[in-house]
Amino acid sequence: MKPFTFHNPTKIVFGEGTVSKVGEEARAAGRKALFVYGQASLKKSGLYDRIVAALRAAGVEWVEHPGVRPNPVVSHARQGAALAKAQRVDFILAVGGGSVIDASKGIAAGAACDTDLWRFYDGTATIGAALPLVTVLTLPATGTEMNGGTVLTDETTQEKIGFGDPHLFPRCSILDPAVTVSVPAAQTAYGTVDAMSHLLEGYFTHDGGWVPLQERYAEGVIRSLMEATERILADPKDLEARATHMWGATLAWNTLAPCGLGGFTIPNHMLEHPLSAVHDIAHGAGLAVVLPAWMATTAGRGPARAARIARFARGVLGVTAPDDAAAAAEGAARLKAWFAKIGAPTSMAAAGIASPDLERLADLAVKLTKRWGIADHARGDILAVYRACGPG
């Protein structure tokens, strides 16, 4: 284990029916909210009506800032920050998935200062304060409901940048699994893949030495997410499974899992990023393509890497091969088969990428190796993984 600091002040209010508590939790954060959400689905599902009824009952005023898109953009967040300032709101209320909450974090930071909020993303300014943030999560996947991270895209430059800051932990996040019963099968599966990848990057690449607590934590959350996903796909209204899926995705990336792991890298995110940036596929879909290919390729890159992947293969996927390289390879194949079973794409072709330009994807990934400090992935290694993602 390596030294770490852990400090996660987010209050979680979890359980079926907890959406009804949004009024009191909002009121604890202030008298007037900027209510941020995405598309019309919030109104169609009836959730919008329940939220505004709860706000009214609690005596909370609000101004609305709808229209957050998947892969949220900075221009929309800037408008939200300006509106929050003009309307002198006390806090931000985010109701939606990772995109809505991430955008709301940018708004919360931008509304509390005179700095353009993109400067927090491009690293030319540091957050000194942010408005309190209350969230109601509708799509388990990214973990943003219980961490200080946010990702926005500057659509004028196509730059997509993520960062984290202690000011951006939500004050309170309401996790009501009943809200997620309408999440479609594909989004449920992509959320699972996303959450699994959050745990696996550190599991596969850490330099923390002996970390049995951390390995078992990751294995336990992943196995539970896999079981919950299978139950949900069989019965989308299975509330027990929805609850485990929701809490599992939060536990996957709430800053606890990496405690003690020391340094780690995120090669699968590095490999996925060009796929979704160039071909506009869902992040979870891209990860489902990349992860088994990375495992299969990396299993052949030395015994230390193979041992990590083999441990996962044996502990989570039931592989019994005694040889690490063989076990790792079999684990990659089994994970690929499982992704296919839950309806996630496992090749570029299956993800709808008909004619990928692997050289261009590799160029983009190489840039990320530098930005993200992934020194052990040369261009050849990257191309090898992309080639293992199947023909275009």
- The residue ranges that bind a second copy (CB under 8 A) are 1-18, 177, 209-213, 216-217, 219-221, 223-224, 227-228, 240-241, 243-244, 247-248, 251, 256, 259-260
To a second copy, the closest distance from the beta carbon of 148 in angstroms equals: 13
- Our measurement of the distance from residue 85's CA atom to the centroid of its chain's CA atoms, rounded to an integer in Å, reads 28
Whole-angstrom distance, CA of residue 300 vs CA of residue 243? 38
Q: Who's near 31: CB < 8 A, 6+ residues apart?
A: 59, 60, 61, 90
To a second copy, the closest distance from the beta carbon of 16 in angstroms equals: 7
Residue 178, class by beta-carbon neighbours within 10 Å (0-12 exposed, 13-18 middle, 19+ buried)? middle
Main-chain phi, psi angles of 68, to 5 degrees: -65, 130
To a second copy, the closest distance from the beta carbon of 210 in angstroms equals: 4
DSSP 8-class letter at 357 = -
Q: Which is nearer to a second copy, 147 or 369 (CB)?
A: 147
Q: Which is nearer to a second copy, 20 or 187 (CB)?
A: 20
Q: Which is nearer to a second copy, 155 or 219 (CB)?
A: 219
Q: Which is nearer to a second copy, 78 or 223 (CB)?
A: 223
Q: Where are the beta strands (DSSP E) in 41-196?
A: 61-65, 91-96, 133-137, 149-154, 159-164, 172-175
Q: Which is nearer to a second copy, 209 or 373 (CB)?
A: 209
- Residues 139, 153, 279, 293, CA torsion sign: negative
To a second copy, the closest distance from the beta carbon of 86 in angstroms equals: 32
Whole-angstrom distance, CA of residue 284 vs CA of residue 189? 8
To a second copy, the closest distance from the beta carbon of 359 in angstroms equals: 42
Q: Are 76 and 67 in contact (CB under 8 A)?
A: yes
Q: Which is nearer to a second copy, 24 or 61 (CB)?
A: 24
Closest residue by Cα to residue 14 from 182, 157, 180: 180
To a second copy, the closest distance from the beta carbon of 15 in angstroms equals: 2
Q: Which is nearer to a second copy, 191 or 260 (CB)?
A: 260
To a second copy, the closest distance from the beta carbon of 244 in angstroms equals: 6
Residue count of the chain, please give it. Answer: 392
**What does the block give as tokens for 44?**
């169609």
Whole-angstrom distance, CA of residue 134 vs CA of residue 24? 11
Q: Which is nearer to a second copy, 20 or 39 (CB)?
A: 20
To a second copy, the closest distance from the beta carbon of 239 in angstroms equals: 9
DSSP 8-class letter at 171 = S
Q: How many CB atoms lie within 10 A of CB 17?
A: 10
